[in-house]
Every structure is written in C-alpha cells, then in structure tokens.
Amino acid sequence: MPREILHHGSARAVGKQLQMRFSCSFIMPEKPDIAALDLWLDRVLGNDLKAGDEVNFPGGNDVPIDTRQWLWRCLQMSRLLLQSAKVPVFDPPGIAACLRKESGKWEAVVGLALIEGFPTTMYEAALRTSFSMAGWAMAHPPEGENLQHFYKRVQQHVITPLAKVLPIGKSTFPVLKEAYEMSIPIRHLGVGIFQLGWGAKARRMDRSTTERDSVMGAKLSQSKVLTARLLRSAGLPAALHEVVTNYDNALRTARQTGWPVVVKPVDRDRGEGVTVDVSGEQVLKKAFKHALKVSRAGQVIVERQVPGVCHRLFVANGKLLYAVKRHPMSVAGDGKKNIEELVTCEYERQQRKPPWKRTEIQPLDQLALDTIKAAGLSVSSVPEEGMLVPLRPIESTQWGGVDEEVTDRVHPENLRAALDATTLFSLHVAGIDIISTDISKPWYENGAIINEVNYAPLFGGGEISRRHISTFLRDFMAGDGRIPVHVYVGGESALQGSRQCWKKVLSMGKRACLTNEWKTFDPSGEPLPMPFRSLYHRIQALMFSPKVEAIIMVVQTDEFFYSGLPLDAVDSITICDAQLASFKEQSKPLSSERLAALNRLLAGWKKNM
C-alpha cells in the first residue's frame, strides 16, 4: 500500500486554473492492475479525462509506463474526490517531475488546481486517500459491499472534513463548472463565496445568489408570513393563512378558511413538518401536533389549500430563465413491472451511485403506500410506460421530486406576477413558486397563488436546471469576465515599453493601471499606494477593483519564483532586456541561468487569442 509525505509550493499557470504543487513520496504496488483501477475511475467516479495524458510530463520517458499510469490515476482520483466534496478543482492534475530514489520510493512533484483559502491539509487528505484507495480498488471490483466501503472511506476522509472548513452550497459547484467550461476565471474569496472574472468585469456569487441580491429581500423572503403579507399588499396572488399556537385556534382557522387546508411550521423549510389535504378535525389535530413539534418558535401556519401543483419559475436578471413543474418523488412506469418492482429497482440503482449523486428515493414505507393508494393504485399495479407514480404527497427538498420543464407554457400574466414578485423583494435571482392547476392559464382564472419567493434557489441540481446555467452566465457576465493584461519583462526598456502600451490602452478609453513590484499608477497617472512591495499582491489587489479595466505589469525581478504566478493567463508578454534584479537582492542582477528559468516559468502564460 503506498505511503506519501506531502508539502506544498507556489502556484503555476498550466491550464485554466492556477496550480498548487506538492512534493509526493510513494511506493509502487508490485503488479498494478491499471484496468481495474480505471473501472473505479470511470464507472464510479465519472472520470472525464482521457487515458494517455500521463506521458506528458518532464522526464516521462525515463519513468516506467506502469509508474506513470499509476501516479496519473492516483492524481485523477484526488481531483474527483475533491469534486465529490464540491471543491471546484477542474483542471487536469499535473506531474512536473518523477524520480526513483535508492530506497525504492518514488519522489514526484505533482499539481492540483489552486483554490484560494482552501486548506492545504485538505489537498493532502484527498491525495492521501487516493493513494490508499487506489491500491485497495485494484483488488476489489466496484460492486456490492465494495462500493459501500469505498463511499464510506471517501465520506469519512474527504467529504465530511471538507464540509467543516469549506461550506459550499449545492448550486455553487455546477455554476462554477460551467464558468470553467466558458473560460471564466474563478477565485474563492472565503466561506464558499466566489469571484468570477477580473476587475471591472468581475461578479460575485454564493450558491445561486449574486452581489446584486438585496439583503432585506433575502430576510423578508425567509418568512412565509411576511412573504404572503408583502405579496398581498402589492396586489399579487398570495396564500391566505393564519398563524396559530394552539389546536383550538387551528380548528377555528380551518373552519373559517374552508377545508382542505395545509398545515406547516412557521419557521421550517425543505418541506419539514408540512401536511397537505387536511380535510377533517382528526387529521388536523395530528398535523398540528407534527408541525408544532418541529417549529422552533412554537407557531404553526394553517393555510387555505389551493388546487394544483407547485411550479418553480427561476428568475434571473429581470427575466425568466426556465420553469419546471415539480412533481413529487415518483417512479416511471415501463408497462412491465408493478409499482413495488419499479421502486425496488430504482432504489437499488441509486444505491450503486455515490451518495452525493443519489436521488432521495426510499424503499416503500407507509407514507409511500398511502400516497399510492390516494392515487387509486396499489403496489401490484402495473403502470403504463411513462406514467409517473407518486411516492410522496408533495415535492420537497426533504423528499425530493421529479421536474418537468414547462418554460414555454408559462402564461404571460403568471410571468408578470413572478417578475413583479422578484422586483418587490429586490432580488437579482429568485425562485418563484406558483401553485397552479395549469401554468398556461392566468392565475386569476384558476385561483393560482405565489406560494413562496425563494432567495438562493437551487440551481444546477437537475439536468433541466444545468442546461440553463450557460445562458445565466452569458447574461450575468461581460464575456469571459477577463480584462486585458499585458506583461513587459526587463529593466529600463521594459518600463519604457510598458508606458507606451499604457498610454495606448488609455487612449482607447479603458481605465488602465500600470504596475511593477514597487509602484502602481491609476488611470490618471497618479500613484496608487498599496501596503506591500510585491507584484503578485499588487496584481491580486487590482483584480478586486471594479474600477480597473486593463492592467499593464512590468516584471523586473524573479519574485514569481517564490510567489507563483498571480493569474492563469495574460494577453501578451514582451521580453525587453535582461536587466533584471533578484527579488531577494534587488541590486544584484540575475544570472543567465536564472533568466532562462524565469523565461521558462513565463512560457505558456500567454493565453490563446
């Protein structure tokens, strides 16, 4: 079983993401079964990288093919395990060097995509788990108890520890993945908030929310009572309900409102504590006790139930992005199996998937049996092909559901109500839930209501939602979110060349900044004081400024050998002369060997235009 000792080094620009490098010591298995390991990578973890890339690293031809293949796949597994914990490590791993020592161990310098603020120990945990599990996986086929053992180890050593130090919402990972595919640079600011793009073109996201979402709107939308009150005050269709604290008031409200009613806690989400189709006193008493038990505030909502199904209208940037009809958790008939067989097959299929990719379907329980019976079916019924058989009374985050896209069916009046509700709460992104029997009919004809205004609605959780992420980003971002960056390398000649470039960019109407390691100038030509003497940190600071539309940087020392490169790519690199000073000894010129090494570091930094 391999063992490894890890430490990290500076970042390098390799692909679309900067790369953090590690030194790694490992022992090769005697007879590595690469084909067996590929089964785990491809079938279980959904590997999206091609075989054969393991040969593309320095000195690769001097390393035995089985060692190259083994190390490459261990790194692939590390990348995929980090992704399972929603860490946006998308670039392929890197292998900078690999050398066998006299002890028989192998020493390698490897790289994984850099996520700022991401604990180095978590990179190490993913690498350590991958080396260990790769050796185990080769001897155990991906089936039965082996799968559960593998998932348990990943959960224990990677996912659970990561959740404690890097809280990333369910919407964050799919949005960042699409941004990566669109070559939009991403940077972690902390606590799961990411910046997309640079300078004046930068935008920020937390899950599906953006910096344009109102804090007050978010606060109001978190209260079902305040949401309904505000909607009604604005002339929009909203739920009619009362907040009660005892059963007598609950019964009085139900009688006044008219049966059936919905009973739910005032301060819970995910569908917790909700009972629908409450049509009598005995059912009401049971539903009230259930809702009261889970309510933190000891308050329960009794609401007039309107006919229909929940439809989620996802609004972003002042327009409808997509709409779905939210069916309860269901199984689809095939015209052959009965309902019991369909549920068993689907549950077993989901159990073979990693826990982080499963649906919420459960084995048949009493709630499922009651729901099936209410639909006029039994577990022995054989539904026709394509027929959805509900296993829960409603769709919820707790129970899951099945979405059906209805974007093209939304009536203009329902869309107007959704857009007005989003504006009312001052939200840039919102999930407007409309309960309607037919979303193609206006709300005032069939009694539909806006049931919820959702701040931070789940985005990218299903295939329908994921298909619309690219459209969202095109509307949200300005192109790929990058501002022009031009690099000049050298001494006095580089300064002269950079000033000419700066003047040219300014003449084009762009607010451009000029900077080297020691001084930064704003677009007016005035010095821009900063609390450090570092080109790396000055570039990073400019990337945060919404005033900066272009950057011209002058590289005059070998600082980047120690700090790493500050960006994944730049527009141009001009080598002016060799009069560079050492970063640590600025008055001492660099040797020819050091200059050559710097040129190698900068090689490939220019992006493909």
398 lies in the same domain as 469: yes
Mean pLDDT score, 218-244: 93
pLDDT interval class at 486 (50, 70, 90): very high
CB atoms within 10 A of CB 269: 16
291 lies in the same domain as 157: no
Question: What's the confidence (pLDDT) of residue 294?
Answer: 87
Which of 51-60, 268-277, 594-603 has the least mean pLDDT?
A: 51-60
Domain assignment present for residue 564? The answer is yes
Order across the sheet with 94-100: list the strands. Answer: 6-13, 18-26, 106-113, 94-100
CB atoms within 10 A of CB 94: 21
468 lies in the same domain as 491: no
For the chain, counts of helices (H) and of strands (E): 20, 24
pLDDT interval class at 15 (50, 70, 90): confident
Report d(CA 76, CA 285) in Å as an integer: 55
Q: Residue 8 pLDDT more than 60?
A: no
pLDDT tens profile 465-482: 999 999 999 999 989 999
Mean pLDDT score, 314-329: 95
Mean pLDDT score, 48-76: 76
Which of 3-12, 256-265, 574-583 has the least mean pLDDT?
A: 3-12
528 lies in the same domain as 425: no
Q: Residue 114 pLDDT more than 60?
A: yes
380 lies in the same domain as 470: yes
Mean pLDDT score, 293-319: 92
CATH number at residue 380: 3.30.470.20
pLDDT interval class at 591 (50, 70, 90): confident
CB 276 within 8 A of CB 393: yes
pLDDT tens profile 340-381: 999 999 999 998 888 888 888 999 999 999 999 988 999 999
Question: What's the confidence (pLDDT) of residue 609?
Answer: 38
pLDDT interval class at 75 (50, 70, 90): very high
177 lies in the same domain as 298: no
Question: What's the confidence (pLDDT) of residue 290?
Answer: 92
Domain assignment present for residue 554? The answer is yes
Mean pLDDT score, 528-545: 94
Question: What's the confidence (pLDDT) of residue 30?
Answer: 85
Residue at token pair 């308050």: 299
128 lies in the same domain as 244: no
Domain assignment present for residue 356? The answer is yes
Question: What's the confidence (pLDDT) of residue 51?
Answer: 60
412-436 in b/e burial notation, b at 16+ Cβ within 10 A? Answer: eebbebbbbbbebbebbbbbbbbbb
Q: Is the dihedral of CA 159, 163, 167, 169 positive or negative?
A: positive
290 lies in the same domain as 344: no
pLDDT interval class at 300 (50, 70, 90): very high
Instruction: Collect all residues with Cβ–Cβ distance below 8 Å to 190 and sequence separation of at least 6.
Output: 117
Average pLDDT, the chain: 89
Domain assignment present for residue 590? The answer is yes
Question: What's the confidence (pLDDT) of residue 452?
Answer: 92
Domain assignment present for residue 377? The answer is yes
Report d(CA 589, CA 602) in Å as an integer: 18
pLDDT tens profile 248-289: 999 999 999 889 999 999 887 767 888 888 988 889 999 999
156 lies in the same domain as 29: yes
Residue 482: name the closest of 545, 549, 536 by CA. 549
pLDDT tens profile 131-148: 999 999 999 999 989 999
pLDDT tens profile 398-447: 788 889 999 999 999 999 999 999 999 999 999 999 999 999 999 999 99
Q: Residue 56 pLDDT more than 80?
A: no
Which of 322-336, 418-432, 550-564 has the least mean pLDDT?
A: 550-564
Helices 247-257 and 281-294 cross at an angle (nearest 10°) of 120
pLDDT tens profile 174-191: 999 999 999 999 999 988
Helices 469-476 and 172-181 cross at an angle (nearest 10°) of 70
243 beta partners: 301
Domain with 504, as residue range(s), is 485-602
Question: What's the confidence (pLDDT) of residue 120?
Answer: 83
Question: What's the confidence (pLDDT) of residue 12?
Answer: 59
CB 476 within 8 A of CB 239: no
Domain assignment present for residue 230? The answer is no
Q: Kindly state the tokens that stand for 474.
A: 């095109």
Question: What's the confidence (pLDDT) of residue 270?
Answer: 67
Domain assignment present for residue 227? The answer is no
CB 517 within 8 A of CB 580: no
130 lies in the same domain as 190: no
CB 206 within 8 A of CB 261: no
Mean pLDDT score, 6-30: 74
Helix, strand or coil, per DSSP, at residue 113: strand
Domain assignment present for residue 449? The answer is yes
Helix, strand or coil, per DSSP, at residue 219: helix
Query: 390 or 60: whose pLDDT is higher?
Result: 390
